[in-house]
């Protein structure tokens, strides 16, 4: 037993220092006003939270992040599902497609954001060039914050599509072939098999993917920082997102308490999403049982 504690001690010490304490500390800090340097750190109660309710930047960030997350997740799921169904058939090309679609998942975000920024470039961007063939005039993808949000969504879908695809693929392959075959013998069409068998059996994985990718999407930051912040093509017109707002309040304006209140909101959103997932999975199990 002594061994257990001795072996765990370093890991747990680290775990408490870099995770448990900061998480607790962030709740605490959200009730204070502090600029990081001042020896004064007055307790302000719910003021930071009340301030957030009137803060246009925060509300915009919350709205943008929500739109971003739900659009990215929805689009990538809708695209990944049929791809997974198709690739689940044994085919020599299946492995090739998986590799290619998975590629963006493992590439680091900063360089790919830089590449996407160049793709979206107003003057020399390959996207505007491509659109010109369809008779569409050049779009200011990153300069206009309203359009930039969708530019970020497109890139977000590109990045996460392969991950969803591979998870769905595993889920579909786990569905018994006999079940599908029996349905076909009974005269079910491909569509019926998909809606009546594949999709219902895929539901737990679908839920898992929806929730985890929504959570991941809520933390969007790097793309926003690289693609829309204060460079020549987009002078200071960053798309307001939650983590970006936390970063700005905390590390540009040094409003540590205020930024912590925002961080607490982010934590609560994530927890809420997780609870919803658990509840839905449990409900399913109850129905089955």
CB of 177 to other proteins, least distance (A): 19
CB of 271 to other proteins, least distance (A): 7
203: helix, coil or strand? helix
Which residue, 246, 243, 219, 69, is CA-closest to 149?
69
| C-alpha dist (Å) from residue 72 to 14, 91, 230, 241 | 34, 29, 24, 14
Q: Per CB under 8 A, which of residues 121..140 are in contact with other proteins?
A: 123-126, 129
Whether 259 and 34 have beta carbons less than 8 Å apart is answered as: no
CB closer to other proteins, 1 vs 134: 1
CB of 266 to other proteins, least distance (A): 5
Identified binder of other proteins from the candidate list 67, 74, 140, 166, rule CB under 8 A: 166
Q: Which stretch binds other proteins (CB under 8 A): 46-54, 60-68, 160-168, 195-203?
A: 160-168
Whether 175 and 197 have beta carbons less than 8 Å apart is answered as: yes
CB of 275 to other proteins, least distance (A): 10
For 133, which DSSP code?
H
Q: Which stretch binds other proteins (CB under 8 A): 15-23, 54-62, 68-76, 194-202?
A: 15-23
* 167 in contact with other proteins (CB under 8 A): yes
Identified binder of other proteins from the candidate list 144, 237, 247, 284, rule CB under 8 A: 247
Q: Which stretch binds other proteins (CB under 8 A): 58-66, 70-78, 110-118, 191-199?
A: 110-118
Q: Per CB under 8 A, which of residues 171..230 are in contact with other proteins?
A: 171, 205, 208, 212, 215, 218-219, 221-222, 225-226, 230
Rounded to 5°, the CA angle 194-195-196 comes to 100
Residue 281 CB neighbour total at 10 angstroms = 15
CB closer to other proteins, 62 vs 171: 171
Whether 257 and 44 have beta carbons less than 8 Å apart is answered as: yes
* 68 in contact with other proteins (CB under 8 A): no
* 170 in contact with other proteins (CB under 8 A): yes
* 76 in contact with other proteins (CB under 8 A): no
CB closer to other proteins, 11 vs 134: 11
141: helix, coil or strand? coil
Whether 48 and 257 have beta carbons less than 8 Å apart is answered as: yes
Number of amino acids touching other proteins (CB under 8 A) = 91
Tokens 């659109």, residue located: 131
**Bridge partners, residue 32, by sequence:** 43
Whether 117 and 226 have beta carbons less than 8 Å apart is answered as: yes
């Amino acid at each position: 037993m002594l061994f257990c504690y001795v072996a765990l001690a370093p890991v747990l010490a680290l775990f408490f220092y870099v995770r448990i304490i900061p998480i607790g500390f962030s709740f605490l800090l959200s009730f204070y006003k502090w600029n990081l340097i001042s020896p004064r750190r007055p307790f302000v109660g719910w003021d930071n939270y009340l301030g957030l309710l009137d803060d246009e930047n925060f509300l915009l960030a919350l709205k943008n992040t929500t739109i971003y997350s739900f659009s990215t997740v929805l689009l990538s799921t809708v695209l990944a599902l049929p791809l997974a169904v198709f690739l689940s058939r044994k085919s020599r090309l299946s492995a090739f497609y998986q590799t290619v679609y998975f590629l963006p998942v493992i590439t680091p975000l900063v360089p790919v954001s830089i590449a996407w920024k160049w793709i979206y470039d107003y003057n020399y961007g390959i996207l505007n060039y491509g659109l010109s063939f369809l008779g569409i005039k050049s779009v200011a993808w990153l300069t206009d914050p309203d359009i930039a949000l969708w530019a970020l969504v497109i890139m977000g879908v590109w990045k996460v599509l392969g991950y969803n695809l591979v998870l769905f693929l595993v889920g579909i392959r786990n569905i018994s072939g006999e079940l599908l075959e029996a349905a076909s013998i009974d005269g079910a069409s491909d569509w019926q098999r998909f809606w009546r068998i594949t999709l219902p059996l895929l539901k737990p994985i679908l839920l898992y993917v929806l929730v985890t990718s929504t959570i991941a999407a809520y933390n969007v930051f790097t793309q926003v920082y690289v693609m829309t912040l204060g460079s020549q093509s987009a002078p200071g017109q960053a798309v307001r997102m939650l983590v970006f707002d936390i970063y700005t309040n905390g590390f540009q304006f040094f409003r540590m308490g205020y930024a912590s209140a925002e961080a607490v909101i982010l934590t609560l959103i994530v927890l809420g999403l997780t609870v919803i997932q658990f509840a839905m999975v449990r409900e399913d199990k109850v129905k089955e049982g």
